[in-house]
Structure 1
Amino acid sequence: MGRQIILAFALLGAGYFTVTRIDRVIDCVEKTNAGISQANTQLLAANRQIAEMQEKLAETSRKLEQTNLSLARTNTKIDETQTLFASLDKAFQKFPLWRR
């Protein structure tokens, strides 16, 4: 009977130890879940910010393309004007009135 009591106390102690360990594991899992939930919230916010930045970059890119087209048109007009001035200069050089 003494052995049975010792065995019962041993089993009771092992059971208490197991329950205590399981409680600790559950606490750790709860803390981990809370951390994961917080990280997920932060990632969602970061993803929203990234999406907003992508929209702004797309808009900026579109505006830059328009600016480049405008600059190309301006350069073409400058080239045409320079050609016209060169032609006018040649024409004026033919007349002696403008020579010094």
Structure 2
Amino acid sequence: MSLGASWQRREVGGQTQLFLLGDWRIAHLDGLLKRFDWSRESQGCAVIALNELEAGDSATLALLMEWTQVQASRGMTLQIRGISQPLQELVALYRLQDMLHIDHD
């Protein structure tokens, strides 16, 4: 597992998606979030793809909740795709199913 974390905007099936890459656990988020500007990076994105996320924790879910609320305030529904089993278990533990729009593809 790499310790780095990054993101990429990609067109998939005519839809702009934001892919989170690497390790987005709390121990690595401070430096990452200093470089990440959600308002700029999320432009036109209705999907967060976690397929390439190597690790996540409750801090990752907190970010997803915040981004979901930001997009909702813009009149958009943010879909979350490719969520790992451990993150799904945290979503269930914290009862976030109604807040996070998770696509179980």
> Of Structure 1 and Structure 2, which has the larger fraction of its residues in helix?
1
Shorter-chain TM-score category? under 0.3
> Larger relative contact order (C-alpha < 8 A, sep ≥ 6)?
2
TM-score normalised to the size of structure 2? 0.19
TM-score normalised to the size of structure 1? 0.20
Instruction: Give the number of the structure whose alpha-carbon radius of gyration is greater.
Output: 1
> Of Structure 1 and Structure 2, which has the larger fraction of its residues in strand?
2
